[in-house]
Amino acid sequence: MKTLFANLGKKHYLLLGGWLLINLIQSMFTNLHSDEAYYWMYSQHLAWGFFDHPPLSALLIFLGDSVAHNEIGVRLLFLFLTTLTMAMIMNELNEQKDLLFLSVFILSFPLVHTHIAGFLAIPDTPMVFFSLLFYLLYRKFAEKPDLKLSLIIAVVAAAMIYSKYHAFLVIGFVVLSNLNLLRNKYFWLVVFITLVLLAPHILWQIDNHFPTFKYHLSDRSKPIRFKTVHNNITSQLLVAGPLSGILIFYSLFKFSINGDKFRRMMIFSILGFYIFFFIMSFKNRIEAHYTIAITPLLMFATYPVITGNPVLKKWFKRLAVPVVVLMFAARFYLAADFIPNIGAAKIAFYNHKAWTSEVKEMAVGKPVASFNNFAVPATYQFYTGEPAVHLATPAYRFCQYDLWDDEAVIEGKPAFAIFPTRVDTTNFLTLKNGRKVKTLIIPEFQNLKNLKIEIASGKIMDDTLKLEILLTNNSVKSVLLNHSSMPEIGMMQNKTEITASSIYGLTGKETLAPEEKLSFVYTIPVSEIDKKQPMIIFVQTIDKNRGQMVKSEFQSFTNQQ
């Protein structure tokens, strides 16, 4: 541990203390980001895994929130991890004289202010911390592996994976940079111990049918779109520094390996991340922070080149200082609720206490439900202390709420529901945070999550697709088909509802008892079907709250004529 901070002197620690103080003040005055509220909900249901991410962030939030139920409590342990990350970066850059330039250099990377060494309680924070620790420990391991170091690296690798799945890329590119590791017994010891430590999470994924991997590797995939490729390239240029990034990449070309295993790992990891996400961007939208694990390596590779060239250093200062000033101004803007939100610039942080209190008043004692926004019920519950339920239309993405049974809170009761304007643009109102919504009262909520849907068979007759649908009530309660919620069977393509019909109207069946099955024919005019797009058959309430869904291809039925 001493070597991780061996190059730090008194002035470095003063800088680190000042940085921690800035982040504490920022945390005190800045509302939770919508993602942070969602992860706070994770912490209220601790488990070995979650739909979007592994569980370490939830545990860190739970521990901090147990100390203080406020924004600082949620972010508390993340603040210490970001400070340690900043300390490791400073130690590695080993600048002893020009600490002002050192600070400008590090802070010129925009995500330092948030994801790397900032204040947000998000999975990237522990992932970057443990990734950087893993890289630095690997340097020792590559030279002289032993049992003690193997145990430490295994724990760090497991913690890195428990933080975020991008850790697999970190490990993969390290191994690719040094294939001799595959012949090392200590390397395989690291692998074995890491897998043992990950066993509870692996079992959770198996028990839940691998929801995380299905979502990230399959459900998020889209047809090839060059827009996402362009966005990825642009975002990676920006996160290296909106202005100074061009000097960062110029300096990267000057970086040489010189036969050093650690330096070889650095270039393999940096280029590996960029190439991997460039390829992925043809089918997925890539967020700017997906490459965050290699940002410290980018600093290590380019800082000596820039500081060793007086002209480069001078121009870097000129380009980076305005960005650093702008980043601090942006942070102040996020924290200051008294400064109005402009457009959607800070809507994810803005005026949470005001708008949640406003919704609570409008609900007049009814439980609150929100459609198609996983952050709204979490934010509402954090700031009001009242439960809130997440509902979703068939077109909305799946998320952690689909694995929980929170709807039990409002089962059989009237509920006050909020729709985002992208679902219904008529008669909307503007909340105090600027978000536009439509509200409605659900007279008596009925959950269709446990109404299993299957396509038993299908055939085309008279230009009509006739599907034999089999519904099974896997709930412990009866599903009422002749009910104010009016359960429907429907079909959508490309996230657009094509047709929907009342199940009661099709079958005349009023009640489906627990474990009871219902078979009926559902017809769809062939003229309304895009034969090239997958068909999603779903059940939903009349308010568009989805139950289960099943995917099929039109071509599979043409073969059954």
pLDDT tens digits along 10-39: 999 999 999 999 999 999 999 999 999 999
In a domain, 347, yes or no: no
Q: Would you call 125 exposed, middle or buried from its count of C-beta atoms within 10 A (0-12, 13-18, 19+)? A: buried
Mean pLDDT of 481-506: 94
Higher pLDDT, 428 or 494: 494
* Tens of pLDDT, residues 115-129: 999 999 999 999 999
Using CA atoms, how far residue 285 sits from 145, 223, 277, 360, in Å, is 39, 11, 10, 35
Whether residue 374 sits in one domain with residue 326: no
Q: Are residues 302 and 403 in the same domain?
A: no
Structure tokens at 510: 């009023």
Quick one: pLDDT at residue 134? 98
Whether 165 and 252 map to the same domain: the answer is yes
Same domain for 243 and 374, yes or no, is no
User: What is the greatest pairwise CA distance in the chain?
Assistant: 83
Q: Token pair of 202, please?
A: 């692996």
- For residues 251 and 177, membership in a common domain is answered with yes
Domain membership of residue 476 (yes or no) is yes
Q: Is residue 82 part of a domain?
A: yes
Confidence category of residue 282, pLDDT binned at 50, 70, 90: confident
Q: Quote the pLDDT of residue 171.
A: 97
Give the pLDDT confidence score for residue 347 in this predicted structure: 86
Assess if residue 1 is contained within a domain. Answer: no
Query: What pLDDT shows up at residue 223?
Result: 64
Q: Which domain holds residue 160?
A: 10-333
Residue 220: what pLDDT? 60
**Residues whose CB is less than 8 angstroms from the CB of residue 209 and which lie 6 or more positions away in sequence, other chains included:** none
Helix/strand/coil for 537? strand
pLDDT at site 434: 81
Query: Which pLDDT belongs to residue 512?
Result: 95
Burial class (CB in 10 A: 0-12, 13-18, 19+), 552: middle
Enter the pTM of the model: 0.93
Same domain, 501 and 410: no
The 8-class DSSP code of residue 216 comes to I
Q: Identify whether residues 153 and 290 lie together within a single domain.
A: yes
Report the first-to-last Cα separation within the chain, whole angstroms. Answer: 70
- Helix, strand, coil in percent for the chain, rounding step 5: 55, 15, 30
d(CA 330, CA 527) in angstroms, rounded, equals 52
Is residue 316 domain-shared with residue 358, that is, in the same domain?
Answer: no
Residue at which a domain ends, from 298, 333, 368: 333
Is residue 288 included in any domain, yes or no?
yes
Residue-wise pLDDT for 501-558, tens only, equals 999 999 999 999 999 999 999 999 999 999 888 999 999 999 999 999 999 988 877 7
pLDDT (0 to 100) of residue 558: 72
More confident residue, 174 or 458: 174
Q: Which residue bears the tokens 């708008």?
A: 355
CA nearest to 56, candidates 157, 137, 149: 157
Cα dihedral 235→239→241→243 (10° resolution): 20
Same domain, 418 and 494: no
- Identify the domain boundary among 383, 411, 442: 442
Instruction: Tell me the pLDDT of the chain averaged across its residues.
Output: 92
374 or 56: whose pLDDT is higher?
56
CB 417 within 8 A of CB 371: yes
Query: For residue 345, is pLDDT > 90?
Result: no
**How large is the angle between the packed helices 56-67 and 124-143, nearest 10 degrees?**
120
Instruction: Evaluate if residue 561 carries a pLDDT over 60.
Output: no
State residue 343's pLDDT score: 77
The answer to whether residue 42 scores a pLDDT higher than 60 is: yes
Backbone angles phi, psi at 385, to 5 degrees: 80, 0
Same domain for 214 and 124: yes
Residues 321 and 364 occupy one common structural domain: no
The encoded tokens of residue 336 equal 């200051």
Q: Residues 149, 221: one domain?
A: yes
In a domain, 345, yes or no: no
Residue 322 has pLDDT above 60, yes or no: yes
Asked if the model's pLDDT at residue 219 lies above 70, the reply is no
Q: How far apart are CA 414 and CA 437, in angstroms?
A: 19
pLDDT value of residue 215: 75
Cβ-in-10-Å burial (0-12, 13-18, 19+) of 469 comes to: buried
Mean pLDDT across 79-104? 96
For residues 55 and 62, what is the distance between their CA atoms, to the nearest angstrom? Answer: 11
Token pair for 92: 């590695």
* % pLDDT > 90, the chain: 79
Q: What is the pLDDT of residues 449-478, one digit of tens each?
A: 999 999 998 898 888 999 999 999 999 999
Cα-trace Rg, the chain: 26
Token digits for 353? 């206490």
Q: State the pLDDT at residue 196.
A: 97
DSSP code for 219:
I
> 512: alpha, beta or left, given left = phi > 0 and alpha = psi -120 to 50?
beta
pLDDT, tens digit, for every residue of 127-142?
Answer: 999 999 999 999 999 9
Which are the contacts of 314, defined by CB distance < 8 A and separation ≥ 6?
none
Number of domains observed in the structure of the chain? 3
pLDDT tens digits, 283-300:
888 888 999 999 999 999
Helices 124-143 + 167-177 axis angle, to 10: 20
Q: What are phi and psi of 370, to 5 degrees?
A: -135, 135
Residue 69 burial (CB count, 10 A): 13
pLDDT tens per residue across span 404-450: 988 988 999 999 999 887 666 666 888 888 888 888 899 999 999 99
pLDDT for residue 325: 96
Please say which residue of 442, 467, 491 terminates a domain: 442
Q: Give the separation between CA 295 and CA 118, rounded to whole angstroms.
A: 14
Can you name the residues that pair with 437 across neighbouring β-strands? 420, 429
